[in-house]
Structure 1
Amino acid sequence: MAFPQTRLRRMRRTETIRNMVRETKVSVDDLIMPLFVCPGKNVSNPITSMPGNSQLSVDLLVEECKKLVALGIKSVLLFGIPEHKDEHGLVACEHNGIVQQAIRAIKAEISDIMIVADVCNCEYTTHGHCGTIVDGDVHNDLTLETLAKQSVSLAEAGADIIAPSDMMDGRVGKIREELDKNGFYNVPIMAYSAKYASAFYGPFREAAESAPKFGNRASYQMDPANSNEALREVEQDIIEGADMVMVKPALSYLDVIRRVKDTFNMPIVAYNVSGEFSMVKAAAANGWIDEERIVKEILTSIKRAGADIIITYHAAQMAEILIRENK
């Protein structure tokens, strides 16, 4: 039926009706908060390009996790800033590596938290690339060995989920093989499956001290122009044993999230990355936008596109918004 019998505005007339028929709702259960851990004690290094975020020493990181759990955020993604780096990123595999220390400390004090451990080498290599360099480029198969060792070390420390973000071919299969071989067959893999060579990562590279010293990452991260390729990447990771697949970044790739969701019966993760976060903060600081409304709209759009899980630096802020709205 058409107007005047059909009046779609009837279902928007009051807040109660709007809440009742709302198709997409973001919950704290959907959110993962990324955190950066650094050496030292009582250290908090503000990340200037990501207002409200800091590199935190292990002791302060534990306290930050307690605050997040109190808000209902029970999942964190850890990135490490090591005391020293090497050519291959082997420092990331050490028993007492910075992230390994953080995992053990968090688990010792907080029982109700899920720790996702990022697996990559860019924070740990002297050159800032995601693996072993041979003839000026990252050598895929040599890098797999380091990634697998790092994954096992993080699982031994108590990581609940292993999240390889390097975009090497075959890394999910190699990591799955090594985890299983070492008895960690129940540890899931959250694969950064469609990770694009994006300009939106700029602030993260300050936060993780991971900017490449030469060249760029276009030879291993995906071309922003491609979406068919993303489906091939996701399919390959699923075949190799990924339990969750990720699209990164989120906002400029909502179409990719939707295509992945429509194609694969898998939990879909979207990473609302640092540049997306920092643009909101900058615009809000200038009074150009209503920050809370923008944050809600962004996260809702990511979930509406098909994401089941959202990694976002807005996680704590969104939790506070939901607490106020649910009072």
Structure 2
Amino acid sequence: MGDLLPAADSGGDGVNAGPLAVLLEDPEVTDVLVNGVQVWVDRGDGLTRSQITMGSHEEVRRLAQRLAAACGRRLDDGSPYVDGQLSDGSRLHAVLPPIATGGPYLSLRTFRLRARPLDELVAAPLAQLLSAVVVARLSFLISGGTGSGKTTLLNAMLATISARERIVVVEDAAELNPAHPHVLGLQARPSNVEGAGAVCLSDLVRQALRMRPDRLVVGECRGVEVVDLLSALNTGHEGGASTIHANTSADVAVRLETLGLLGGLPLPALRAQVAAAFQVVIHLRRTSAGREPAEICLLRRSGPGGALTMWPVWSSEAGLGPAASQLARMLTARSVRPPAWLQP
């Protein structure tokens, strides 16, 4: 029911990437990977070997070090791996030998996210439902594997928020840029070469709460910052959103519990906070045909110990699920008219 299409605008102001520049300037390219001298590229439909080949391992090492320096990071034998963000927003990761046994290895994820309307990404009936979820101020999680379109969909959903609302976005690396007139972005910062100056996502979530957000958005739940996000969403900040890596919608609950436990929350309290903080889970998948929504579920507690479970609203394979009428009631209770197709 509608593919999630990769973004296709040209990427930023470019980087000094040597022979890889032609790939990074290609508007269809999402990832460029270098394994030794081999170059692989992803244009949204899986990895393929590029006709470009690097001249030598030493050339790759010099390129990786130049890109790392452009990020303000160090890459050498004493610090043989690096993660950074280039000036055009592209993400860099590099590893040097002997850690990289066949290396050097270089990974570049291009920054091409542009504001795209929701109905370009999903079929009209789903766009109608997702817009209703946003308008009703139901907090939601977008889940999926790497490259499944989570950030692209979140960007589009945030653009449907009323222009009278203030959105504060917290990210590890700035990617979201919704077409909305009142968005504030906070970006985490790694420590410098002396090991000082780090600003983590947990710090930024706490700062965001002091900025009078109508909507609090964390680009990705990936660590202990989930505890601060749960606390925020349970203290009057409705309509929040985030993304999370998960292979299936059923894995979302396990991922949230794992992250929350790492943050020091006891399991019973964690389950109660998650169930109260997030109402809707939208799971995406990447197939040979493209990126598409696979399921929409409600997050609820059930069974012994109040375990977190997914209650299906809709799936691409089975259509409407048992939670469809419940979501319709939730929307109605918030004075938002549910789509007619949601009520069989």
Structure richer in strand, relative to its length: 2
Identify whether the pair has TM-score above 0.5, normalized to the shorter chain. Answer: no
Structure richer in helix, relative to its length: 1
Please tell me the TM-score bracket, short chain as reference. 0.3 to 0.5
TM (norm. structure 1) is: 0.33
Greater RCO (Cα-Cα under 8 Å, separation 6 or more):
1
TM (norm. structure 2) is: 0.32
